[in-house]
Chain A
Amino acid sequence: MSDLYELQCKECAKTWGNSPRSFCEECFSPLEVSFDYASLKKTVRREDLASRAFNMWRYSEFLPLPETFQPPSAVGGTPLVASRKLGAHWGAKNVFFKNDAVCFPSLSFKDRVVATALVAARRFGFQTVGCSSTGNLANAVAAQAVQQGFDACVFIPADLEPAKVLNTAVYGARIVRINGNYDHVNRLCAQIADRFQWGLVNVNLRPYYSEGSKTHGFEIAEQLGWRLPDNVVVPMAGGSLIGKIAKAFRELVTLGWVEAKPVRFFGAQATGCSPISSAVKRGLARFEPQKPDTIARSLAIGNPADGPYAIKLIRESGGWAEDVSDPEIVAAIKLLAETEGIFTETAGGVTVGVTQKLIGQGRISPNETTVACITGNGLKTTDAIAAEYPAAEAIAPRLDAFEAYLDAQLAAPAARA
């Protein structure tokens, strides 16, 4: 098969063909899928997309897929929501939310990366697939593995949110709980991939996996009318997504599908796990790993594998990175729900909180087009905000009881005044 793509070292540029490996054995740096853009330019036209369904597979030529690829199920194709109220609240005009809280099948952007990883898993002959996960990725692996007939075995920190564990268990996946934080799980998985012939989507299939993230960026550009935004605010855990959105934009420019323009990339982290934002703010050459302590569990990666690339991108694009505290995350989750009708998980709270901060700091101009990436659904992290909504006292099923309730409600603000 003459693939139009192959693995290439991000540092020394050595090529490695296509195989389940994620780092260069010459210099130990990460591998990435590189494409033959000259050939792509001759064979793919933007107009071809018109007849395709609106999901991530409409960009299949930009993904590492076999020629005979048939989409297993619809993934992606999520709304780009033009802000109705929140942008105005911030004094900004052109704010959009890319809403992967409603990504199928498992309600986070991780469905996109798992989709391309499982294509690679099939190609390389793996029967068992798995991952190290902070929750969302495990959900996505478990759901799509059962759809496609793989055995799934996922590794998670033992203290993960119950909803995220349940949302994996329900698909019948084997769950291995590890006494340790995500970085411990991650290290173990690197060793497991070294020992066992399993397709670990974010370890030995990582280059193929991360290409799926590009579709988040392709959709943003297409939904803006084949234009690039001025600013993108992206949550950062391992630091991969922000780089892949940038890669997606570069590819669209290379193929002449959008006009070239400078896009500033802004990274968002929780203060309790902020190795990347801390490095950007302090001007460090290398990030310093951290022990995560935040309610934003899906971003709780203290030793981000793609951190160096995220820092470089943010600096070179003229962007910035910020972080928000746990109370700020909770407030931002509520704010997004109350203004836009979007219920996001803690990672989305980080993105919204940081966007608010960046606009407040003047780092994001209120007149520019800004896209904030909402990457997961609020139903997965209800524990984080449950205390905000104590149950109201129940009333009797009688009209007079309801009238008394209304009177009490109406009287309450007056009493406070």
Chain B
Amino acid sequence: MPVTIEIPTAFRRFTDGAPKVDCSATTVAEALDALTTRFPELSRHVRDDSGQIRQFLNVYLNEEDIRFLGGESCSLKEGDRVLLVPSIAGG
């Protein structure tokens, strides 16, 4: 399933400057795996030592936080956008 991952500026030094990365995946987890396989240095920024998505990294499927969609096992359809956004704002 062709999908696009949108990369925040802080991560782009690990993606050769690319703001978007296209990949093929059927779930968000697969998309993240595809991303970190292609750019291995990103791995430790996306997941913590226990393999969970880092606590201060929010992952969205199109407009929705994946935690409302059952987590990273949620399935993707063609043309979906996966967004990585740091959890920084508030109040």
Contact = CB atoms under 8 A, between A and B. Distances in A.
Interface size class of B (residues with CB under 8 A): 20 to 34
A190 B86 contact: yes
B89 A202 contact: yes
Interface string B70-91: 0000000000000101111111
B90 A237 contact: yes
B48 to A, nearest CB: 9
Interface residues of A, number: 43
A241 B63 CA distance: 28
B20 to A, nearest CB: 13
Nearest to A289: B67
Contacts, number: 87
B91 A28 contact: no
A291 B69 CA distance: 13
Interface in A297-311: 301, 303-306, 308
A30 B89 contact: no
Interface stretch (A45-53, A180-188, A222-230): A180-188
A27 interface: yes
A365 interface: no
Nearest to B67: A289
A203 B89 contact: yes
Contact of B56 (A29, A132, A180): A29
Interface of A: 11, 22-23, 25-30, 110, 113, 132, 134, 137, 180, 183-184, 186-187, 189-191, 194, 200, 202-204, 206, 237-241, 286, 288-289, 291, 301, 303-306, 308
28 contacts: A11-B56, A23-B86, A27-B44, A30-B56, A30-B87, A113-B91, A183-B65, A186-B89, A187-B60, A187-B85, A190-B88, A190-B89, A194-B8, A194-B9, A202-B89, A203-B88, A206-B89, A206-B90, A238-B91, A239-B90, A241-B91, A289-B67, A303-B65, A305-B56, A305-B88, A305-B90, A306-B90, A308-B56
Interface of B: 8-10, 44-45, 54-58, 60, 63, 65, 67-68, 83, 85-91
